[in-house]
Amino acid sequence: MRKNLKLMLSYYKPYLGTFFLDMFFAVLASAIALAIPSVVRIITAEIPNMSSEEGMDRILKIAILLIVLMIVQFFANYYISYIGHVMGAKMEYDMRAEIFSHYQKLSFSFFDDQKVGQLMSRITSDLFEITELLHHGPENIITSLIKIVGSFIILAGISGYLTLAAFIMLPFMFLFAYILNKRMRRAFRKNREKIAEINTQIEDNLSGIRVVKSFANEEIENEKFKVGNEGFLKAKKASYFNMGIFHSGMTAFTLLINIIVIITGGVLMTNGLVQIPDFVAFLLYINIFTEPVRTLIDFTEQFQNGYTGFERFVEMISVVPDIQDKEDALELTDVKGDIRFDDVSFKYKDGAHRVLRHINLEIPAGAYVALVGSSGGGKTTLCSLIPRFYDVTDGSIKIDGKDIRDVTLKSLRDNIGIVQQDVYMFAGTIMDNISYGRPGATKEEIIEAAKLANAHDFIMELPNGYDTDIGQRGVKLSGGQKQRISIARVFLKNPPILIFDEATSALDNESENIVKESLERLAKNRTTLVIAHRLSTIRNAGRILVLTENGIEESGTHDELMRKNGVYAALYKWNDIT
């Protein structure tokens, strides 16, 4: 906890000037609040003994002083409420930027084990609670301490007997708060976990809403959500149960303090040990004393919310990316496209067996190589190793003789273009999505890339052409249209190495032919690896590799492999039948 708190405090560093001013105005506002009951004591003790003229003169001076104090307190509270909140928002901005940037560094293997809703919860609701704590926490503590200490000193000066009576319950109150705090912390952490689970469920449902409706499974989804929602409600009830006991108990303690003071004050006044003005002032200061106690009650709840959120934040930013640049990594430049696999083996973190075993493969620059095989044979995995989406378990992969682990990830991936079966379109326009291939490209370059991808004609038929909004995940476009936009992205990127991951398998024949023509144009004079589902599409490949659990089972041209009458021939015949 000490380490986490130290890290939390480090986020104040860029805003120390604002923070110290915030604390100054908090102290000033607290000091003014402490001064007011003293004025009441003066009026009740001194004014009755003065003449009318003297009394009016003293009251006028006091009134002017109180108005000045009110104006000063107004500006102090304005600064705390506005500038202080902006400081908290800036810290939230910094933390959100940090965790989002960290997400970008994490590898595919991390995201394979995560749920999007959980990750979103850490970057939204968790951070809001953290920054509320970072802004209000120090301010609440400092004002509360000033009021408690200040009121204690003044109370002791008024009457030692009443002060002893008022503070006799404090040890019991703090013990009660300590015990309940521990229970509330556990409960609030459980709340965070349940909120993240619900976010995951909502994200999953809304992303797959078309599947839900196509199977008319709305009721099933409602039932699934009901289970998660009830789990969240149960966790909330547990936290509110503890919070209810805490609030009720602390309120009871503060009321008990007032009762003890009133009874003790009555006894002391009866025996002439306390004067009426002192007793009135004492009661006012007791209320000043109990107000920061209530503030600390709220702070305790706020601390539980904020700190449990910060724990989850730290837990996430502490995840070390398993794929990152070496300290002396070099830029990969002037790439020709020679690719070499030297005794490469690979298995996923949770895999009991290796997906790839002792792969040795040389692909010369400009070659057109197709990968075929049954599902689960490792075709996509092998291609994912080249841009280091995953790192090899054993062996090495080299591009132009350089181990890909010795070059920077950005320069490596800048030289590789990937066209996948499951095309992802970002929310926005067609122009936005194509320019993603090379941010900063001119409109003319984007249009040229679209023409090369056979996409320009259909784009110009859309209502707003290249400025047409395509909706979330490109829902307003057909599969073939999305695929051609993804190819245009890669044309714009213009990399020397290409990977086609079953890029046409989900398309109808007409769309497939258009996309196939675009792909062939894109592959010209580039090192190209094609993962093929429909074997008829790769008959003209310069080399076909048949990948099985045993590794590269067969290698050759289409005609050579058909003559062998082996695994490829069997796959081709089956593919032809289906």
Comparing CA positions, the residue from 576, 578, 568 lying closest to residue 373 is 568
Q: Do 139 and 248 lie in a common domain?
A: yes
* 39 domain-assigned: no
Structure tokens given for 262: 């009133």
Comparing CA positions, the residue from 486, 481, 446 lying closest to residue 466 is 446
HSE toward the beta carbon, residue 339, CA cutoff 13 A:
25
Comparing CA positions, the residue from 222, 266, 445, 408 lying closest to residue 332 is 408
Q: Do 282 and 370 lie in a common domain?
A: no
Mean pLDDT over each residue of the chain, to the nearest integer: 82
Angle 156-161-164 from CA coordinates, rounded to 5°: 70
What is the distance between the alpha carbons of residues 337 and 516, in angstroms, rounded to a whole number? 22
Structure tokens given for 147: 């009021």
Residue for token digits 């070496």? 326
Neighbours of 59 (CB within 10 A): 13
Q: Do 427 and 311 lie in a common domain?
A: no
Query: What is the span of the domain harbouring residue 547?
Result: 366-386+409-577
What is the distance between the alpha carbons of residues 7 and 13, in angstroms, rounded to a whole number? 11
Q: CA 267 → CA 102, 160, 264, 275, 389, distances in Å?
A: 65, 14, 5, 12, 80
User: Does residue 351 carry a pLDDT above 60?
Assistant: no
Radius of gyration in angstroms for the set of CA atoms belonging to the chain, rounded to a whole number: 35
User: Does residue 341 carry a pLDDT above 90?
Assistant: yes
Comparing CA positions, the residue from 444, 447, 443 lying closest to residue 455 is 447
Identify the three-state secondary structure at position 475.
Answer: coil
Neighbours of 382 (CB within 10 A): 25
pLDDT of the residue at 331: 92
* 393 domain-assigned: no
* 334 domain-assigned: no
What is the distance between the alpha carbons of residues 490 and 416, in angstroms, rounded to a whole number? 9
What is the distance between the alpha carbons of residues 555 and 532, in angstroms, rounded to a whole number? 15
HSE toward the beta carbon, residue 234, CA cutoff 13 A:
8
Mean pLDDT (whole number) for 572-578: 64
Q: Do 293 and 427 lie in a common domain?
A: no
Q: Do 292 and 418 lie in a common domain?
A: no
* 568 domain-assigned: yes
Residue 29 — very low, low, confident or very high, per pLDDT cuts 50/70/90? confident
Q: Do 294 and 200 lie in a common domain?
A: yes
What is the distance between the alpha carbons of residues 483 and 21, in angstroms, rounded to a whole number? 56
Q: What's the sign of the alpha-carbon dihedral 336, 339, 340, 344? A: positive
* 403 domain-assigned: no
- For residue range 558-574, list pLDDT tens digits in order: 888 888 888 888 887 77
- For residue range 462-488, list pLDDT tens digits in order: 889 999 998 877 888 888 888 888 888
User: Does residue 241 carry a pLDDT above 80?
Assistant: yes
Three-state SS annotation for 1-16: CHHHHHHHHHHHHHHH
Identify the three-state secondary structure at position 168.
Answer: coil
Mean pLDDT (whole number) for 206-223: 71
User: Does residue 456 carry a pLDDT above 80?
Assistant: yes
User: Does residue 577 carry a pLDDT above 60?
Assistant: no
* 471 domain-assigned: yes
Q: Do 189 and 309 lie in a common domain?
A: yes
DSSP symbol at 468: -
Q: What's the sign of the alpha-carbon dihedral 144, 146, 149, 154? A: negative
User: Does residue 159 carry a pLDDT above 70?
Assistant: yes
Identify the three-state secondary structure at position 376.
Answer: coil
Q: Do 142 and 284 lie in a common domain?
A: yes
- For residue range 46-72, list pLDDT tens digits in order: 777 777 788 788 888 888 888 898 899
Three-state SS annotation for 242-267: HHHHHHHHHHHHHHHHHHHHHHHHHH
Q: Do 443 and 299 lie in a common domain?
A: no
Alpha helices, DSSP H only, in 208-217?
209-214
Order across the sheet with 368-372: list the strands.
416-420, 497-501, 527-531, 368-372, 543-548, 551-556
Neighbours of 412 (CB within 10 A): 23
Residue 383 contacts residue 397 (beta carbons within 8 Å)? no
Q: Do 126 and 270 lie in a common domain?
A: yes
User: Does residue 119 carry a pLDDT above 60?
Assistant: yes
What is the distance between the alpha carbons of residues 135 and 129, in angstroms, rounded to a whole number? 10
Q: Do 459 and 571 lie in a common domain?
A: yes
pLDDT of the residue at 211: 63
E strands, 66-165, in order = none
CATH of the domain at 244: 1.20.1560.10
- For residue range 405-421, list pLDDT tens digits in order: 999 989 998 998 888 87
- For residue range 368-388, list pLDDT tens digits in order: 898 988 777 788 888 889 999
User: Does residue 363 carry a pLDDT above 70?
Assistant: yes
Domain count, the chain: 2
Q: Do 568 and 420 lie in a common domain?
A: yes
Instruction: Report the percent of the chain where pLDDT is more than 90.
Output: 11
Mean pLDDT (whole number) for 320-329: 87
What is the distance between the alpha carbons of residues 215 and 187, in angstroms, rounded to a whole number? 38
Structure tokens given for 210: 């078309």
pLDDT of the residue at 509: 63
Amino acid at 418: I
* 183 domain-assigned: yes
Comparing CA positions, the residue from 406, 459, 409, 405 lying closest to residue 431 is 459
Residue 506 — very low, low, confident or very high, per pLDDT cuts 50/70/90? low
Residue 346 contacts residue 340 (beta carbons within 8 Å)? no
Residue for token digits 């409600």? 233
Say if strands 527-531 and 368-372 run parallel, antiparallel, or are unpaired: parallel
* 42 domain-assigned: no
CATH of the domain at 499: 3.40.50.300
- For residue range 13-22, list pLDDT tens digits in order: 999 999 999 8
